[in-house]
Structure 1
């Protein structure tokens, strides 16, 4: 464990744990929180990617620690939590979408994998870090869900089901910790163009992945979501952002997207 950096205000730097921090939205959130003065703890399965993000943060003058971790492994998560005695913010970002088959032809294994990482992984992390979040006096649990959590669409059944589970986790936790020094924030992004999300969903087919964003002049990028998360967690302690939906201007709904071509 490295020593916690002392912030300019003379108090220990706040600590933020970000899951799925090796790329995309997670990496952008980690960089944004570090710029805001947090010491960030980066977790994901790919240690080389985590090291690269940590180096970027360090080059910008921030502080980051790297812990390779599979959030679906409960014992590994518990071991990780023992190494993070203080935690002010937990960002449950690890997730993903696998496959676009209609329910008739969907692979149950894909559905199971999506539920494990998007819901059970967030459950593991939240359970393990709640004591530290409580002890901080103003702990914040962030769940990155999706507009798919409340709007279904063809070929998206498994992903919508998993993200609805993430939404339910956030909403239920908020009820259960009411009256405690904890806030629970859900951020539901719409169309976000990142380097891996759609590529993974289409099993490496770059043409199909690119077609998702074809003709959309300005989809969201990871930094847009990171900006929203940073704003939400830095509100005064009495202000809770229950649910924040963020879409590009070109997207009015899952099925309503303006394309220039």
Structure 2
């Protein structure tokens, strides 16, 4: 691993894959992590990076992944997702556990494990991809919004705790991005997932990846605390202009 190294979690598709490509184009050696190692391997071959299996919900997997990386300059906490869309009264505890394990504890595991190497780099950067769900609640989404609020607070707390250390922190909070997100949320129901983006022009993964690339290319003294980005057709989590 020659030059500056970036680590991207959840890199087998969507925002993670697009981010890996963007950072590789900027000259980073990109280490991509996710559970779908076949996809990761193809991606790593295309961008000249390194593919390592990673399950952010598993302590041993995170430890093995992080031990294999000698130095890190950029960490992109992208692994996450939603399960279900139900009111609190009908909450599925298994879905809540998955969301908290993936979004919150996954981010904690990766950040804690790689923080010493980010500090040692002399110019570290942690980018955490949260969501506009980290900014406000919406009906039937408490499992996801609570997890994203917690993930965001974890990230924002580090901003103060690392003050004076050579590590910058940026939170990127996207609105509607058309990726596999809704397919995962609705357990593979393509019709229901498609309805999320019906009548609007959503963001795409490359839109978020470009923001990560912009943040990573700023000088060491510049910290961009938070970027909130939504489609023009979206004003909040539940407010859209739909054309049909």
Report the TM-score range of the alignment, normalised by the length of the smaller protein: over 0.9
Q: Indicate the residue corresponding to 2:219 in structure 1.
A: 236
**Which of 7, 19, 24 is equivalent to 2:9?**
19
Counterparts of 1:76-225 in structure 2, within 5 Å, are 76-194=61-179, 196-216=180-200, 218-225=201-208
**Which of 33, 37, 62 is equivalent to 2:27?**
37
Deviation at 1:55, TM superposition (A): 2.8
Q: Secondary structure at the match of 1:125?
A: helix
Q: Indicate the residue corresponding to 1:9 in structure 2.
A: none
1-side partners of 2:67 and 2:53: how far apart? 14
Q: Secondary structure at the match of 1:117?
A: helix
Deviation at 1:76, TM superposition (A): 2.1
Contact 2:131/2:175, CA 8 A, preserved across alignment: yes
1:247 is the counterpart of 2:230: yes
Deviation at 1:56, TM superposition (A): 2.8
Unpaired stretches in structure 1, ≥5 consecutive residues: 6-12, 58-62
**CA deviations over 1:24-55 (Å, ceiling 9, x no partner):** 11000001100111000000011011112223
Q: Secondary structure at the match of 2:49?
A: strand
RMSD of aligned residue pairs (Cα, Å): 0.9
Unpaired stretches in structure 2, ≥5 consecutive residues: none
Contact 2:53/2:65, CA 8 A, preserved across alignment: no
2-side partners of 1:155 and 1:204: how far apart? 19
**CA deviations over 1:191-246 (Å, ceiling 9, x no partner):** 1011x110111111111100000000x21000000001110121110111111001
1-side partners of 2:144 and 2:224: how far apart? 24
Question: What number of residue pairs does the alignment pair up?
Answer: 244
Which contiguous aligned blocks of 4+ residues in structure 1 show a shift greater than 4 angstroms?
Answer: none
2-side partners of 1:44 and 1:77: how far apart? 10
1-side partners of 2:138 and 2:75: how far apart? 30
Contact 2:178/2:205, CA 8 A, preserved across alignment: yes
1-side partners of 2:23 and 2:194: how far apart? 29
